Amino acid sequence: MTETASSLYERMGGYDAVSVVVNNLLPRLIGDEQLGRFSSHRGDDGVQREKQLLIDFLCSCAGDPVYYTGRNMTPTHQGMQISDDDWWKFMEHVNATLNHFKVSDSERGEVVESIESTKSDIVEE
């Protein structure tokens, strides 16, 4: 019998672990001088909804069978004027969060690859 490799979702610790990671990442993004503008006019309810959508999206991308109910990345971010510089600032925070949780190089690579696959749908050239 062959062993099947567990999904990134399972290796990262499942839903609870993804939630903890998002709870660390979002305050970094909201508090960032450059990126905070994207959440500055949102109420608490809107921020909570975005947080839940982000958790669901990341779980889905990592191999959880959860059904992501949010919109695709392109219409979600269209018109937000997210620049390449904004993207790299966001990735700095992603990496800081991954460092905080001491995510292994293997899993880090998969997480970053998954996130970077969305760049062309999010960044406005």
What pLDDT does residue 1 have?
A: 46
pLDDT digits (tens, 9 = 90+) for 10-51: 999 999 999 999 999 999 999 999 999 999 888 999 899 999
Residue spans of the domains in the chain: they are 10-122
Mean per-residue pLDDT of the chain:
92
Task: Find out whether 99 and 112 touch, Cβ atoms under 8 Å.
Answer: no
Model confidence band, residue 2 (pLDDT cutoffs 50, 70, 90): very low
CA atoms of 50 and 56, how far apart (whole Å):
10
> What's 10-122's CATH class?
mainly alpha
Which residue intervals of 13-82 are DSSP H helices? 14-31, 44-61, 73-77
- pTM of the entire structure? 0.89
Query: To 5 degrees, how large is the angle CA 89–CA 104–CA 21?
Result: 55
The pLDDT of residue 67 is above 70: yes
What pLDDT does residue 4 have?
A: 58
The DSSP symbol for 125 reads: -
